[in-house]
Copies of this chain bind each other. A is one copy, B any other.
Amino acid sequence: MAAGSGFGNLFRVTTWGESHGKGVGVVVDGCPAGLSLCEEDIQVYLNRRKPGTSRFTTPRKEDDCVEILSGVFEGKTTGTPISMVVFNKTQRSKDYSEIASYYRPGHADYTYDCKYGFRDYTGGGRSSGRETIGRVAAGAIAAKLLTEMGISVDAYTKSIGPVGIIYENFDLEQRFENAVCMPDAEAAEKAADYLEQCMKESNSSGGVIECSIKGVPAGLGEPCFEKLSANLGKAILSIGAVKGFEIGDGFGVAQSTGLTNNDAFYYDENGEIQKKTNHAGGILGGISDGSEILFRAAIKPTPSIHAAQETVNKSGENISVNIKGRHDPVIVPRAVVVVECMAAITVLDALLVNMSAKVENLKKFYEKL
């Protein structure tokens, strides 16, 4: 669908809202009926992207309280659109004249002006990180349904700047215990030190988010253009700061060989087909193979920094700017839940589409009705 704010085929998500407007929200159309759902289910996910929860996130007070406006009746989804909204506490005030006058480097100010002729210059408008609230609210629903199907989706920080996690220390629960969302307490400390350093230098850092999806049945994803890997890639690359996506061994395959990269199949003790390795990241020919799906996203450094930067204003001048306000020195930790939610939406959509892959299942299904 050409209009840019919708995603998904059968589980269809449409987000709306600007950073400093009245609110941000999402409509989820095509959610199967009968899922238990309440606002708390959503709020738990939104709280994970909330600023002000650590020294590396903006101390602005934003409550981000979600309201479900439709599609749930007597505690269950009805099959009709679920509309959710988070009203903004911080709406437009009157000191944007400066920011309106120039283009911030690394931001979408210039490209929005090119495309639309003007832009909502308050707080980044639609290209703000607050746009992801709708994604997270929708993803919380998808994740809840996946969980009931025995499918888990877990993202975490893999690295920040030069500091990466060590898999020997891996403890998924740990990601909720530190400010950088790392599943490795030791690495988290080092990353925190590195970020302190960045802040002192009025600078910011990039990083890598990794996401693990377990329990996915084999067979999800459509051949050719609707490969599960391609749709995961689009989902993740549609998040503002993402500049790279890789699945399984990813860019590592470029220096690998067939003998190493091919995953050997074998029958396990239960007579189930398994793979000895998982270089493929759980997807073969674009279709899930039943093993863990593992992908990574490269997140760019926060473009808003306090240090002086060169840019242009709309009066035709080359200028130097210092962007005021409080800025997170890193996007990664708050983007973790966004990655997780986009992955959940994508997998659920593939799950729904796959139901009609075989005539056999069609017949069984309608026999029952």
Contact = CB atoms under 8 A, between A and B. Distances in A.
A259 B307 contact: yes
26 contacts: A3-B30, A3-B222, A5-B80, A5-B81, A5-B225, A10-B356, A14-B27, A16-B81, A23-B70, A27-B27, A32-B359, A69-B85, A80-B120, A80-B223, A148-B363, A159-B254, A162-B255, A205-B257, A219-B369, A230-B234, A231-B234, A243-B249, A244-B246, A251-B298, A253-B299, A267-B317
Interface stretch (A58-66, A165-173, A177-185, A280-288): A280-288
A114 B290 contact: yes
Given A3-B226, A4-B227, A35 B359 contact: yes
Contact of A111 (B2, B68, B206, B289): B289
Interface residues of A, number: 172
A285 B32 contact: no
A6 B105 CA distance: 36
B16 A301 contact: no
A156 interface: no
A43 to B, nearest CB: 17
A258 B111 contact: no
A118 B237 contact: no
B78 A120 contact: yes
Given A117-B34, A312-B265, A359-B33, A18 B369 contact: no
A5 B23 contact: no
Contacts of A83: 16-17, 25
A253 B366 contact: no
A94 interface: no
Interface stretch (A44-52, A333-341, A347-355): A347-355
B316 A271 contact: yes
Contacts of A34: 116-118, 358-360
Interface in A121-154: 122, 125-127, 131, 145, 148-149
Contacts of A203: 257-259
Interface in A285-305: 285-290, 298-305
A22 interface: yes
Given A4-B221, A114-B217, 6 more contacts: A10-B353, A108-B285, A126-B224, A246-B246, A257-B301, A351-B362
